[in-house]
């Protein structure tokens, strides 16, 4: 238990001070590349011998970013722009920005002109994934990313390194899924905040290191008696659920998170890269085309409602909380559909506004309290 506590404390420190993780890798002589949400080809960075680190905003005072983004832009992008302009990301060799929504399209350009000392590498993922041509197109996008990575950092990958990186990422996916399953037997220890910390910390570690940490956590948990959770259980949907105060309010009200459909959390680990089917780049492109149920990726039939229903049934979640990132149009287009399906199937839904800069939680507290009582 004490080992578990130590691991959890370390992960929490990593989430609270990602800059320390950056310094840690820099001190080892590693180069570090910042990866914007929600998806970037981290495997390419890894295979090039560098460390990818996730840039998912954070709490800050927005000042300089106001010269680039209107107040109705995504709060994560506002925070990233502020951090970039303010020098918090110094030490990164480059950032990769995926143009997956309208704001991210613009961020490629804002970064390019606003934060000139950290080069920007854009990637435009294909959205018509049923087109067979999308694979070749995405391979060419990956090749452009690789060329830019090499030009900027001087570090080049080879096929062997890429295949190894893909294996490392697949193992990490499996370890995350295994953790999620085990965590639901220990909801007394894996509070909403702890669960979030474990997921989020993955963005600040080299992935095989994080896999080892996850395995240690699972090992420790498995030695503990299964907790018969008497509180409520929910599924979180959306881009992310921060600040942590929101998660603490869930815990205060005896609500555990047993599953999530968050872009920052489970969506990252759902889809493995196939082990066969071509070279590494082609297999990564096939993995992109296999992703399901993400608001940022075009897909017919609005499948998220059905996916969440299944998750609720498998995990015993009694309701769903839509963590609506402010001004996130991709999520806003999905919400009416999945909420209707969930409600129809008898699962209550609650929508709360998510903004990392939020400092007042009384309204959210009251709403979550009422929701908990309703479940």
Partner 1 sequence: MSELSAAVPAAKPKRPKPKSMLMIGEQTAALFENARLAKERGEKVGWSASIFPQEIPETLGLNILYPENHAAGIAARHQADPFLQACEGPLGYSNDLCAYAKVNLAYAAVLNGESEVELPDGGKMVRPDFLLLTNNICNQLTKWYENLARQLNIPIFFIDTCYNPFDYVTETRVRYVRAQIDQLIQDLCAFTGKRWNEERFREVMAVSQRNSSLWERANDLLHHKPAPIGGFELFNYMSAMVCNRGKTSTTAIMEQLNAEMEEHIRAGTSTFPAREEFRVSWDGIACWPYLSHNLRTLKKYGINMVASSYGKAWAIEYDDLDGMARAYCFASTNGDNATTMISRRMEALKRFDCEGTIYHVNRSCKVMDCQMMEVQRQLSELAGVPFTAFDGDQADYRNYSEAQFETRIQGLVELMKTNKEAKSGV
Binding site for partner 1 (CB under 8 A): 67-70, 72-73, 77, 99-103, 105-110, 112-114, 122, 124, 126-128, 131-134, 136-137, 140-141, 144, 295, 298-302, 324, 326-327, 329-330, 332-337, 339-340
39: left (phi over 0), alpha (psi -120 to 50) or beta: beta
For the CB of residue 106, give the shortest distance to partner 1 in the complex, in Å. Answer: 3
Which CB atom, from 66 or from 313, has the smaller least distance to partner 1?
A: 66
> How far apart are the C-alpha atoms of 106 and 125, rounded to whole Å?
15
Which CB atom, from 12 or from 105, has the smaller least distance to partner 1?
A: 105
154: left (phi over 0), alpha (psi -120 to 50) or beta: left
Question: Is 29 exposed, middle or buried (CB count within 10 Å of its CB: 0-12, 13-18, 19+)?
Answer: exposed
Which CB atom, from 268 or from 295, has the smaller least distance to partner 1?
A: 295
CB atoms within 10 A of CB 9: 11
For the CB of residue 356, give the shortest distance to partner 1 in the complex, in Å. Answer: 17
The owner of tokens 């979640």 is: 317
DSSP 152-170: HH-----HHHHHHHHHHHH
The tally of CA atoms less than 13 A away on the side-chain side of residue 189 is 25
Which CB atom, from 76 or from 189, has the smaller least distance to partner 1?
A: 76
Which CB atom, from 112 or from 292, has the smaller least distance to partner 1?
A: 112
For the CB of residue 102, give the shortest distance to partner 1 in the complex, in Å. Answer: 4
Q: 363 is written with which tokens?
A: 């309204």
> How far apart are the C-alpha atoms of 300 and 322, rounded to whole Å?
21
For the CB of residue 132, give the shortest distance to partner 1 in the complex, in Å. Answer: 7
> How far apart are the C-alpha atoms of 123 and 42, rounded to whole Å?
12
Give the CA distances from residue 372 to residues 117, 182, 314, 348, 353, in Å, rounded to whole numbers and listed in that order: 48, 23, 20, 10, 17
Which CB atom, from 14 or from 81, has the smaller least distance to partner 1?
A: 81
For the CB of residue 91, give the shortest distance to partner 1 in the complex, in Å. Answer: 24
For the CB of residue 248, give the shortest distance to partner 1 in the complex, in Å. Answer: 26
Q: Pinpoint the alpha helices (H) of 205-324.
A: 207-222, 244-252, 280-290, 304-315
365: three-class secondary structure by DSSP: helix
For the CB of residue 215, give the shortest distance to partner 1 in the complex, in Å. Answer: 38
Q: What is the dihedral of CA 162, 167, 172, 175, to 10 degrees?
A: 180
For the CB of residue 130, give the shortest distance to partner 1 in the complex, in Å. Answer: 8
- Inter-residue contact 95 to 118 (CB < 8 Å): yes
Which CB atom, from 140 or from 223, has the smaller least distance to partner 1?
A: 140
Question: Is 12 exposed, middle or buried (CB count within 10 Å of its CB: 0-12, 13-18, 19+)?
Answer: middle
Which CB atom, from 23 or from 112, has the smaller least distance to partner 1?
A: 112
Which CB atom, from 180 or from 339, has the smaller least distance to partner 1?
A: 339
For the CB of residue 343, give the shortest distance to partner 1 in the complex, in Å. Answer: 10
């Amino acid at each position: 238990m004490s080992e578990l506590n130590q691991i959890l404390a370390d992960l929490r420190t990593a989430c609270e001070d990602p800059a320390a993780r950056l310094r840690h890798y820099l001190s080892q002589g590693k180069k570090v590349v910042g990866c914007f949400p929600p998806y970037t080809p981290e495997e390419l960075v890894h295979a090039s011998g560098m460390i990818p680190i996730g840039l998912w905003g954070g709490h800050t005072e927005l000042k300089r970013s106001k010269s680039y983004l209107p107040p109705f832009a995504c709060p994560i992008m506002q925070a990233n722009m502020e951090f970039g302009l303010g020098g918090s990301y110094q030490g990164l060799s480059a950032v990769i920005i995926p143009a997956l929504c309208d704001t991210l399209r613009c961020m490629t350009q804002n970064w390019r002109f606003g934060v000139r000392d950290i080069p920007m590498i854009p990637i435009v993922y294909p959205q018509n994934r049923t087109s067979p041509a999308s694979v070749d197109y995405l391979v060419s996008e990956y090749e452009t990313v690789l060329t830019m990575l090499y030009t900027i950092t001087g570090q080049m990958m080879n096929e062997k390194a890429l295949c190894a990186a893909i294996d490392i990422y697949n193992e990490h996916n499996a370890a995350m899924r295994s953790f999620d399953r085990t965590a639901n037997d220990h909801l007394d220890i894996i509070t909403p905040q702890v669960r979030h910390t474990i997921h989020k910390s993955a963005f600040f570690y080299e992935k095989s290191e994080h896999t080892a940490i996850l395995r240690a956590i699972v090992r420790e948990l498995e030695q503990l008696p299964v907790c018969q959770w008497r509180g409520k259980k929910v599924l979180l949907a959306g881009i992310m659920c921060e600040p942590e105060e929101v998660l603490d309010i869930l815990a205060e009200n005896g609500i555990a998170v047993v599953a999530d459909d968050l872009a920052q959390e489970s969506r990252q680990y759902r889809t493995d890269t196939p082990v066969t089917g071509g070279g590494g780049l082609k297999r990564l492109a096939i993995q992109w085309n296999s992703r399901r149920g993400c608001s940022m990726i075009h897909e017919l039939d609005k499948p998220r409602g059905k996916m969440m229903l299944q998750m609720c049934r498998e995990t015993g979640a009694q309701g769903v909380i839509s963590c609506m990132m402010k001004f996130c149009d991709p999520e806003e287009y999905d919400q009416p559909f999945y909420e209707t399906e969930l409600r129809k199937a008898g699962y209550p839904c609650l929508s709360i506004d998510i903004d990392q800069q939020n400092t007042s939680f009384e309204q959210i507290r009251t709403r979550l309290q009422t929701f908990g009582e309703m479940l």
